[in-house]
Amino acid sequence: MAQLRIAMAQVNPTVGDLDGNCRIVVDYARRAAEAGAHLAVFPELVVTGYPVEDLALRNSFVSASIKATHALAAALAEEGLGELPVAVGFLSRRTGVGERFGQPAGSPQNAFALLYRGRVEVTSAKHHLPNYGVFDEFRNFVPGETLPVVRLRGVDVAFAVCEDLWQGGGPVAAARAARVGALITINASPYERDKDNVRLELCQRRAREIGATVGYVNMCGGQDELIFDGDSLIVDAEGELVARAPKFEENLFVTDLALPDAGEAPEPQGPVDGVTVVRHTVSADPVPAYAPQPPVLTPRPDPASDIGEVYRALVVGVRDYAVKNGFATAAIALSGGIDSALTATIAVDALGGDRVYGLLLPSKYSSDHSVADAEELAKRQGIRARTVEIAPVVAAFEAAMHLDGLAAENLQARVRGTLLMGLSNQEGHLVLATGNKSELAAGYSTLYGDSVGGYAPIKDCWKTVVWELARWRNAEAERAGEVPPIPENSISKPPSAELRPGQLDTDSLPDYAVLDALLDAYIGTDKGLRELAIAGYEPELVQRVIRMVDRAEYKRRQYPPGPKISSRNLSRDRRLPITNRWTPQG
């Protein structure tokens, strides 16, 4: 058996920041070299950030990515790191073929490169292009047709890109036929709740299929609505977990592996399931025997109580959206209710209390306890709070145009939204919208009112999950001997928009426990009226909820982005026409 020390860098690049991303690679490659690594591996499209979306269709951007990758290889050599093979993901293009109808302009490719001795030594491109959920890779890329197998320190190592591991056949079949000692995949795999061991089980299955060790390096950090959670790991040829990195943080993950000696390469053969093996030798001789380091095995929480991971994902989403878009501060309307309380707490954990500005906007219908709860929240968390009474502003609008009923209620929300955005324009804060997934799904929000903002931290959280997150965060504070950040009254009182006397959410919506389960079935799994009725829901309730959801599509199109934590969020995962006369009941 040969030895190989691999350093997997789960880093946090930013889309479009090619220079900054390459600096990250150089920094972590230096750390890998100092750790004695024989190979350093970085995530999918680390040079450009991921996802690049339609930037891939701009020839200038593709050219910049290729140029930056070659410059990165040279920079590594100039830094004395040229003898360390460094695997990166970058945006490339297929050459030697003309434009083809039905394929992305310019033939861009989601590519892999091995950088060595100042050169781009090996390249290939992603073969399987996902086109489901949040992924649109058929739109943006053309597929690759090769699997690079690199002889490195006497071991044959194959390299593949993300979806190439998730799909059977293709690169997986080619790796098996090539009799490799290890398959390394570079990934940008977004976080979803309940996904924790899906990657592990996938790697274990593929390792057994190939008969080789599988290494999986993943990106971390937030990019618009996507959160990348790291969770890089290595399994051996029998599928046993060897090492695992922490989640939601940048990390250089160094592991010593004992791998089969390469021996004689199999006779060249034609493509295997559409993929041709391309072999390259970097270093044929094994390293002298050395004492391996103990592997890192970061423990995972009980999957039955993963709410803490959801909370961490939301914090990462807010932090990176603010930082990567140049916002030093955030502003939020503090109502005293659970949604604004949780959103503010996430913002404080992401940015710090002194960088969160709370605006209390009481109307004549705001209860004393709601105002007191909002003030107490701000005090506990060090939020910079100010109060603006909106009654005079509302009265001025009403003097100009008489409104009543729902229109009058919505006016109050729109006045609040205008004041929040005015504060943002004046002082440069990122406004955080406080709506949850239940309200957004059912259309229980005011367009240009409580929906205003630049980012929506709890957009993908059902109302029942909002309560769960708030209780978890308070419990964590108590375990640490700290004052719970959220006043208990904000959690325990019945939710209300407080836009008319005695108003409660249950005046307009079913109980949230029932509503959320029904919404999750309709939105999350596309169950129709008949299936929902068979599942035990009252047909009349189902029809009512479906009508609310379908009529609110135009509102959701105009809602700010927010971190995706479920398998089916209300934007990238679910795309429906606004003008639509079809209903599940016919």
List, for residues 60-94, the tens digit of each pLDDT value: 999 999 999 999 999 999 999 999 999 999 999 99
Residue 97 has pLDDT above 80, yes or no: no
Q: What is the mean pLDDT of residues 242-260?
A: 95
Q: Is 22 a catalytic residue?
A: no
Short-list 64, 77, 62, 75, CA closest to 22: 75
The two tokens of residue 573 are 């995962």
Question: pLDDT confidence of 109, banded at 50, 70, 90?
Answer: very high
Residue 586 has pLDDT above 50, yes or no: no
Q: Is 162 a catalytic residue?
A: yes
Residue 303 has pLDDT above 90, yes or no: no
Annotated binding site for L-glutamine: 132, 189, 195
- Which of 105-114, 301-310, 340-349, 559-568 is the least confident region? 301-310
Distance, CA of 34 to CA of 31 (rounded, Å): 5
In this structure, what DSSP letter does residue 154 have? T
- Cβ atoms of 569 and 190 within 8 Å: the answer is no
Reported CATH class of domain 304-557: alpha beta
Question: pLDDT confidence of 572, banded at 50, 70, 90?
Answer: confident
Distance, CA of 28 to CA of 9 (rounded, Å): 7
Sequence letter at residue 548: M
- Which of 44, 137, 163, 192 is labelled catalytic? 44
Annotated binding site for deamido-NAD(+): 410, 439, 555
Annotated binding site: 132, 189, 195, 333-340, 410, 434, 439, 555
Domain 2-283, CATH number (from 1.10.630.10, 3.30.1020.10, 3.40.50.300, 3.60.110.10): 3.60.110.10
205 Cβ neighbours under 8 A, 6+ residues apart: 239
Short-list 573, 549, 576, CA closest to 562: 573
Q: Which helix (H) or strand (E) holds 316?
A: helix 307-324
Q: What is the percent of the chain with per-residue pLDDT over 90, rounded to a whole number?
A: 72
Question: pLDDT confidence of 452, banded at 50, 70, 90?
Answer: very high
Output phi, psi for 209, to 5 deg.
-65, -45
Annotated binding site for ATP: 333-340, 434
Query: Residue 498's pLDDT is what?
Result: 58
Question: pLDDT confidence of 423, banded at 50, 70, 90?
Answer: very high
Query: 3-class SS at 203?
Result: helix
Query: 3-class SS at 150?
Result: strand
CA atoms within 13 A on the CB side of 362: 16
Short-list 435, 409, 434, 375, CA closest to 498: 409
Residue 22 has pLDDT above 50, yes or no: yes
In this structure, what DSSP letter does residue 133 have? T
Q: What is the pTM of this model?
A: 0.93
Residue 212 has pLDDT above 90, yes or no: yes
Which is more confidently placed, 364 or 467?
467
Distance, CA of 43 to CA of 245 (rounded, Å): 14
The two tokens of residue 475 are 């419990």
Q: Where are the domains of the chain?
A: 2-283, 304-557
* Mean pLDDT, all residues of the chain: 92
* Cross-strand partners of 387: 360
- Which of 126, 459, 463, 527 is labelled catalytic? 126
- Which of 22, 162, 203, 461 is labelled catalytic? 162
Query: Residue 162's pLDDT is what?
Result: 94
Per DSSP, the residues of 211-253 read: TSEEEEEE-EEEETTEEEEB--EEE-TT--EEEE--BSS-EEE
